[in-house]
């Protein structure tokens, strides 16, 4: 009798062990196999993401975001290989810029970080203390047409630096705009003065940014990086100068600001003999 009872007890125990093992295997099968990088604290927008703000956890396939901050272990991967894969996924996020606020527990999509985020929101790339000035340039006739040459000919590229030149007509006492000599008239050259207004202005972009609205017909855009004071000067020049505002491209090996004096008819005559008898 005791032997029969023992056999029955062993059978019951074996069945329970089998059921527990089957349940554990089912749970392992249901557990997500892939990993994603998540924020473990709220991460403000426009800030650099640190490793301490992140963790790598198992994420269901349907919740995995696009981008590079995911790890899908191959079948049979060892624990050590999985840890390396998780670390690599995390490094895809560390030191990136958060394009938008990331909330605690959010699985991170790298398309919202760094350069992809900056393409969607170019302002993320503006350094502290700087302003990006979008200057429309008319490539045809009319106001602004004189500024078109280097952009129309595609001579300037993003990353170049330029100087801004202004030519103005200075009228002697008693001469009004109506009575002043016009272009081609005798004495017109004697009234012109050219000045270098801004130097070493960085060109950020030519044309529109990705995803931005197209410019007006006949216009091109040049985006300049300026400080607040120079942005006000650029705005005034754009409104006041018309076609007398021009840009020149500097050598990248010549980053220093150089002193310059205005050039007038008298200066040109003294230096080159213009307007004097041979």
pLDDT at position 28: 47
Distance, CA of 154 to CA of 160 (rounded, Å): 12
SS3 at position 185: coil
For the chain, give the percent of residues with pLDDT over 90. Answer: 14
Of the candidates 163, 231, 222, 228, the one whose C-alpha atom is nearest the C-alpha of residue 195 is: 163
Of the candidates 137, 68, 136, 60, the one whose C-alpha atom is nearest the C-alpha of residue 96 is: 68
Distance, CA of 164 to CA of 170 (rounded, Å): 19
For residue 101, pLDDT beyond 80: yes
Convert the pLDDT of each residue in 167-211 to its tens digit: 888 888 888 888 888 888 888 888 889 999 999 999 988 877 765
Torsion angle in degrees (nearest 10) through CA of 139, 140, 145, 149: 50
According to DSSP, residue 197 is labeled E
Convert the pLDDT of each residue in 199-253 to its tens digit: 999 998 887 776 566 666 656 788 899 999 999 998 888 888 765 778 888 888 8
User: May I ask the CATH class of domain 32-120?
Assistant: alpha beta
Convert the pLDDT of each residue in 36-94 to its tens digit: 899 999 988 777 888 999 999 888 888 778 877 888 888 888 989 989 988 999 988 88
Distance, CA of 121 to CA of 210 (rounded, Å): 9
CA dihedral over 266, 271, 274, 278, signed as positive or negative: positive
Q: Which helix (H) or strand (E) holds 243?
A: none
First to last CA, the chain: 138
Of the two residues 181 and 145, the one the predictor is more confident about is: 181
Of the candidates 233, 246, 238, 217, the one whose C-alpha atom is nearest the C-alpha of residue 155 is: 246
Domain boundaries, given as residue ranges, for the chain: 32-120, 126-272
Residue 35 tokens, joined: 């990993």
- What is the mean pLDDT of the segment spanning 91-120? 78
Q: Is the pTM of this model over 0.85?
A: no
Distance, CA of 125 to CA of 68 (rounded, Å): 21
Convert the pLDDT of each residue in 148-177 to its tens digit: 455 455 678 888 999 988 888 888 888 888
């Amino acid at each position: 009798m005791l032997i029969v009872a023992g056999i029955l007890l062993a059978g019951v125990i074996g069945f329970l062990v089998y059921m527990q093992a089957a349940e554990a295997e089912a749970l392992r099968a249901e557990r997500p196999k892939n990993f994603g990088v998540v924020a473990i604290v709220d991460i403000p927008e426009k800030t650099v993401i640190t490793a301490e703000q992140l963790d790598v956890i198992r994420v269901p396939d349907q919740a995995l975001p696009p981008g590079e901050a995911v790890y899908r272990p191959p079948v049979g991967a060892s624990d050590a290989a999985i840890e390396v894969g998780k670390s690599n996924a995390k490094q895809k996020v560390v030191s990136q810029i958060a394009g938008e606020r990331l909330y605690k527990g959010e699985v991170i999509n790298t398309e919202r970080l760094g350069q992809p985020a900056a393409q969607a929101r170019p302002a993320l790339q503006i350094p502290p203390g700087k302003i990006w000035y979008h200057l429309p340039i008319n490539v045809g006739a009319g106001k602004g047409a004189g500024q078109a040459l280097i952009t129309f000919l595609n001579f300037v590229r993003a990353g170049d630096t330029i100087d801004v030149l202004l030519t103005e007509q200075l009228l002697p006492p008693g001469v009004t705009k109506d009575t002043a000599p016009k272009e081609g008239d005798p004495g017109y050259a004697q009234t012109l003065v050219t000045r270098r207004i801004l130097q070493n202005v960085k060109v950020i972009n030519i044309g529109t940014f990705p995803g931005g609205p197209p410019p007006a017909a006949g216009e091109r855009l040049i985006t300049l990086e300026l400080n607040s004071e120079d942005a006000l000067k650029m705005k005034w020049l754009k409104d006041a100068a018309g076609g007398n505002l021009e840009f020149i491209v500097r050598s990248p090996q010549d980053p220093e600001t150089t002193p310059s004096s205005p050039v007038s008819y008298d200066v040109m005559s003294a230096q080159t003999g213009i307007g004097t008898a041979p």
